[in-house]
Structure 1
Amino acid sequence: MTSPPVTKEDTPKATGRERRGWYWYDWANSAFYTTIISVFLGPYLIPIAKTAACEQDFASMPADACARDFDTLTTGQLGFVDVLGFDIRPAAYFGLVLTVSTLLQIVLLPIIGALADHTGRKRQLLGGFAYVGALATLGLFFLEGDRYLLGGGLFILANVAYGASIVVYDSFLPQISTPAERDKVSSRGWAFGYLGGFLLLALNLVLYTGRDGFGVSEGMAVRICMMSAGLWWAIFTIIPLLTLRNRPVPAHESTALRSVGGSFRQLGRTISELRRYPGTLLFLVAYLIYNDGVQTVIGNSAPYASEALKLDKNVQIQAILMVQFVAFGGALLLGALARRFGTKRVVLASLLVWTVIVVMAVFLAEGAELQFYGLAFAIAIVLGGTQALSRSLYSHVIPRGKEAEYFSLLQISDKGSAFIGSLTITLAVQFTNSYRIAIVSLVVFFVIGFLMLLAVNLPKAIRQAGNEVPEHL
């Protein structure tokens, strides 16, 4: 016997307090991405793995001399670390754990989304995943010496928990905002997150660059910075947990095991039902393609700056800080433009800007810091808005009551597409030995994504999903 559907009258109305609390989770979790992934962990974890390789293969050699001459010493069968029985080069170790965590997200996030919708306990799931991730990030403080396996394991746990919490967090958006409010609420959350990530990263860079004055070593400074991201994540997650509310769902199995089983069945039905929502499916594919371009540009900006433009680390760090700060205003600006000109038009316009950005990147001169800052500024303007407004558009084409499941598919398209962009860059560099050509090859993602998004009949897709078509779309 099927349960009666949950009607709009059964669902508590969102309040301004609840929406403001929702914004704070973007503020809380952005510290993990900016401080851990973007800046500190990779450059710190790889030397930890090199230390382990030195102790294994060059135990008689002074550690500092081994680290200095590691690349020339490690030939043949020397200079590897053991990861579950596999010999891995230290330089590839961070990429390996990032890939493993991404693959685990691809497998687990749809299940987590189904579980959130099936049980209705979104607030508890958000808190659980957030604190697992925050505690794992706090544990990175103990990453020193040759503890490369500890660092890799903690990062995988934290990154999977981060992705899971984002699925649950995003699924609140259709529940706390009306269709007319969706663009504004999504853009404000994204902007608030950029501001939070900027503020903690700025504080951490003060500690890192001024570590001698604070009387701490470089390693200790990095470990404090990484620990601060976990602390920031944990403290500010309290605010959304105090303000967000669960919504009622149809009756379901009462035990945790049966709920998980029900979630698997519900997930299977969701994937099968996508055929009934061709507009939703087309939007998902379009987003996968153009967001792949966005993520690949961001992920390869540092290698491009160092390899193609020969810019030093300080310039790259300052550019990252500027992007975080300017993206705060950019997300709000594009949100305001969407309310005036329509969300789809603004997203399409942002994709044209992305196309111009990657073409212009080819013509930057070596050592041209001002040109690089200008390009970073342009990226910051469209970065947050492209993602926030895409999230808002997607929320309109999701069937009611399946928010977490469908947002997990959005996250999967985000995570899964990273392989396509990375492969494109890798092949382009391999065959041309040019990061400039590699970057401009990403034009194809923005062009195809633009054309596919242009083909989406959003009003029809929204009606097919059983939702109200907003005035400005």
Structure 2
Amino acid sequence: MAIFDRDALNPGVAPREVFAWSMYDFANSGFTTVVLTAVFNAYFVGAVAGNAPWATLAWTGALALSSLLVILTMPAIGAWADARGAKKPLLLATTIGCVLGTAGLALAQPGSVTLAIALVVLANWFYNTGESLIAAFLPELARPHALGKVSGWGWAFGYFGGMLTLGLSLAWVLSAQARGETAAQFVPVTMLITAAVFALASVPTFLVLRERARPQAAAIGAAEAGRAEGTQDGRAGAADAFARLRRTWRESGRFVDFRRLLVCGAFYQAGIAVVIALAAVYAEQVMHFTQIQTMALVFVVNIASALGAFGFGYLQDRLGHRRALALTLGGWIAMVLVAGLGTSLAMFWLAAVLAGLCMGSSQSCGRAMVGALAPAGRLAEFFGLWALAVRVAAIVGPLTYGLVTWLTVGNHRLAILCTGLFFVVGLALLAGIDMARGARAAREAVEPGRR
């Protein structure tokens, strides 16, 4: 475990525990890589929906619906987890849900649009809820000065996990095509491979990672009082959780930089959501990539993403979170211009490498910034708010892309250029964030009920 610097970890945190935490990123990245980015999205548009004019919009609509569900549920789930010190049990439940949903996608065949959409919505909801919960462990593991570094470790592990899952899927696709099988025969098996890797690779997380949060008596007492008056526990817990969410927004004067980060994140994450959800669709529809070429493309992107997440994590702590994120957003803008205006394969591959480098670094940087600005004792709640902003982005970004392609009868180049506007706005909003002021506000915050 020499890769994990003990000086970056909080007292009592062993390197093997950070390894277990990072393994969750390793485990769940196959879902985004194979299901959302490389295989199932293009399979849905081309095979399940039969390349219908509305196919891309239907895919982005399914992702938008799952993101809306996250928006409606994640703040309450995060607050509930904080109140009961129960991030880990909830993480286990979301993991099981995503694994089962991913395996269920093996049943999707040409024409089964409703089944495919339903399973994608559920699996993606479980995935994103789990992402918020695992991220909330970060400030418990890393010292404040090393949040970027430790976050980068996790993201780097994640991209290697994505490459493993994609590599196994690619090997299956190659062998299946050699046997003369069609996409309707080999894509379902890749869904089973993805589910199996997620389930197996997440085991170290649940065996080793500790739940350090403790139940908060005041919050639980409110729920108990609701039960005593005849209110069901679930309804009382949800009401308390949304009350906490409303209080957080009312206290935005104290956490003004965190709130600005949410708005900034909602914009730049909208652009990232487009790349994740539609990279394979763009490659096949514009560059006329085959399934094998598309999977190879995503494999290269994951290598670049792993290097970006791991290497940039160290650079981020030296530069400062805001400068580091500004650098990556500039890279995203360059990527969009290269992809949208370039016509050669070489230019498209260059755009893919840029996207990979920016993907790992920007995702790692965003998570570290949330950890730096979130007050202790409310980590799951604040990461739940971050998840809410990211899910808003996941609705707006892909839907914008889908609407542009629908209204322009398939102009994917214009759609990707429009995506660049999200990164431009995000970069402009980033200038208003003061990390020192935000971190000070987080330290000075006192959780109600602990006075």
Shorter-chain TM-score: which interval? 0.7 to 0.9
Aligned-partner Cα distance in 2 for 1:421–1:145: 26
Aligned to 1:6: none
Deviation at 1:234, TM superposition (A): 1.3
Given residue 23 of structure 2, which amino acid in structure 1 is its aligned partner? Answer: W
Conserved 8 A contact 1:311-1:369 = no
Deviation at 1:167, TM superposition (A): 1.2
Give the alignment partner of residue 383 of structure 2, picking from 386, 407, 427: 407
Distance verdict in 2 for CA 1:217–1:453, change over 3 Å: closer
Aligned to 1:345: 323
Deviation at 1:124, TM superposition (A): 0.8
Distance verdict in 2 for CA 1:455–1:234, change over 3 Å: same
Alignment of 1:80-119 (within 5 A): 93-119=58-84
Q: Is 2:70 the counterpart of 1:123? A: no
More deviation in 35-44 or 159-168? 35-44
Q: Is 2:105 the counterpart of 1:140? A: yes
Deviation at 1:48, TM superposition (A): 7.2
Aligned to 2:34: 35
SS in 1 for 2:327: helix
Give the alignment partner of residue 272 of structure 1, picking from 238, 250, 254: 250
Aligned-partner Cα distance in 1 for 2:444–2:151: 18
Q: Is 2:254 the counterpart of 1:289? A: no
Aligned to 2:394: 418
Aligned to 1:452: 429
SS in 2 for 1:456: coil
Distance verdict in 2 for CA 1:39–1:437, change over 3 Å: closer
Aligned-partner Cα distance in 1 for 2:423–2:19: 33
Distance verdict in 2 for CA 1:260–1:274, change over 3 Å: same
Deviation at 1:337, TM superposition (A): 1.5
Aligned-partner Cα distance in 1 for 2:283–2:190: 24
Deviation at 1:127, TM superposition (A): 0.7
Distance verdict in 2 for CA 1:409–1:215, change over 3 Å: same
Deviation at 1:426, TM superposition (A): 5.0
Q: Is 2:174 the counterpart of 1:209? A: yes
Distance verdict in 2 for CA 1:424–1:149, change over 3 Å: closer
Aligned to 1:227: 192
Q: Is 2:296 the counterpart of 1:331? A: no
Distance verdict in 2 for CA 1:260–1:106, change over 3 Å: closer
Aligned to 1:249: 215
Aligned-partner Cα distance in 2 for 1:260–1:12: 34
Aligned-partner Cα distance in 2 for 1:134–1:250: 31
Deviation at 1:466, TM superposition (A): 1.3
Deviation at 1:428, TM superposition (A): 5.1
Aligned to 1:81: none
Conserved 8 A contact 1:348-1:453 = yes
Distance verdict in 2 for CA 1:98–1:297, change over 3 Å: closer
Deviation at 1:27, TM superposition (A): 0.7
Aligned to 1:167: 132
Deviation at 1:303, TM superposition (A): 4.1
Aligned-partner Cα distance in 1 for 2:436–2:126: 34
Given residue 21 of structure 2, which amino acid in structure 1 is its aligned partner? Answer: W
Deviation at 1:91, TM superposition (A): 6.9
Given residue 416 of structure 2, which amino acid in structure 1 is its aligned partner? Answer: I
TM-score, normalised via structure 2 length? 0.85
Aligned-partner Cα distance in 2 for 1:436–1:42: 18
Deviation at 1:130, TM superposition (A): 0.6
Larger radius of gyration: 1
SS in 1 for 2:63: helix
Deviation at 1:47, TM superposition (A): 7.1
Aligned-partner Cα distance in 2 for 1:91–1:442: 15
Given residue 251 of structure 2, which amino acid in structure 1 is its aligned partner? Answer: E
Deviation at 1:140, TM superposition (A): 2.7
Q: Is 2:429 the counterpart of 1:464? A: no
Aligned-partner Cα distance in 1 for 2:351–2:48: 34
Deviation at 1:238, TM superposition (A): 1.4
Distance verdict in 2 for CA 1:292–1:351, change over 3 Å: same
SS in 2 for 1:451: helix
Unpaired runs of 5+ residues, structure 2, are: 1-9, 228-232, 446-451
More deviation in 36-45 or 375-384? 36-45
1:412-443 deviation per Cα after TM superposition (whole angstroms, max 9, x unaligned): 11111233334544565536974434333333
Aligned to 1:59: none
Distance verdict in 2 for CA 1:143–1:449, change over 3 Å: closer
Given residue 334 of structure 2, which amino acid in structure 1 is its aligned partner? Answer: V
Distance verdict in 2 for CA 1:312–1:220, change over 3 Å: closer
Distance verdict in 2 for CA 1:419–1:230, change over 3 Å: same
Give the alignment partner of residue 162 of structure 2, picking from 169, 194, 197: 197
Conserved 8 A contact 2:60-2:402 = no
1:79-103 deviation per Cα after TM superposition (whole angstroms, max 9, x unaligned): xxxxxxxxxx777654443332222
Conserved 8 A contact 1:141-1:223 = yes
1:259-302 deviation per Cα after TM superposition (whole angstroms, max 9, x unaligned): 44432332332232234311111111111112222322443434
Deviation at 1:107, TM superposition (A): 0.9
Conserved 8 A contact 1:190-1:328 = yes
Deviation at 1:358, TM superposition (A): 1.8
Distance verdict in 2 for CA 1:375–1:49, change over 3 Å: closer
Deviation at 1:135, TM superposition (A): 1.8
Aligned-partner Cα distance in 2 for 1:344–1:317: 33
Conserved 8 A contact 2:57-2:403 = no
Unpaired runs of 5+ residues, structure 1, are: 1-10, 51-66, 75-88, 469-473
Conserved 8 A contact 1:270-1:405 = no
Given residue 228 of structure 1, which amino acid in structure 2 is its aligned partner? Answer: I
SS in 2 for 1:399: coil
How large is the Cα RMSD of the aligned pairs?
2.8
